Amino acid sequence: MPPTLSMIIVEDHADTRSILNLFLSRSGYSVRAVGTCAGALQVFEQNQFDVLLSDVWLPDGDGCWLVQRLLACKPDLYAIAVTGLCEKKDVQRCREAGFKHHLCKPFTVSAVESLLLQAVEDKKSRRAASDYLLPL
């Protein structure tokens, strides 16, 4: 059964963005890929995403700022930082901004796939929990 996640990739490095887009699309994910914060905001307004895969250093802004903006609109967005900023202070900053995971570059596509499988399980858990909620 193919994954049931839609995601937005925000990565300014064109080759990395293309490889992620190609791999994840072929793996059955619904993917939109952009290279800037502005592009992400524009695409996010018009689509519903389950996952954000974002670089932190972007040409027109900061991925930590971006994840905060997107989480304000969709609090259950599963956010993964994909970045070369890998010192302890960078990881902490990303976590405080709202990223659930911090994937250091260079990374393997299998590492991304593993995190996305966690996102699938998280989505299933949230859906199962909502089945038990009763309207007030």
Structural domains for the chain: 6-130 (3.40.50.2300)
What pTM value is reported for the model?
0.88
What are the tokens at 45? 């307004």
3-state class (DSSP) for residue 78:
strand
Convert the pLDDT of each residue in 53-98 to its tens digit: 999 999 999 999 999 999 999 999 999 999 999 999 999 999 999 9
What are the tokens at 80? 């993964």
**Which residue stretches of the chain are H helix?**
14-26, 37-46, 63-73, 88-97, 109-130
Mean pLDDT of the chain: 91
* Burial zone of 61 (CB within 10 Å; 0-12 exposed, 13-18 middle, 19+ buried): middle
- Interhelix angle 109-130/14-26, rounded to 10 degrees, is 60
Q: How large a percentage of the chain has pLDDT more than 90?
A: 76
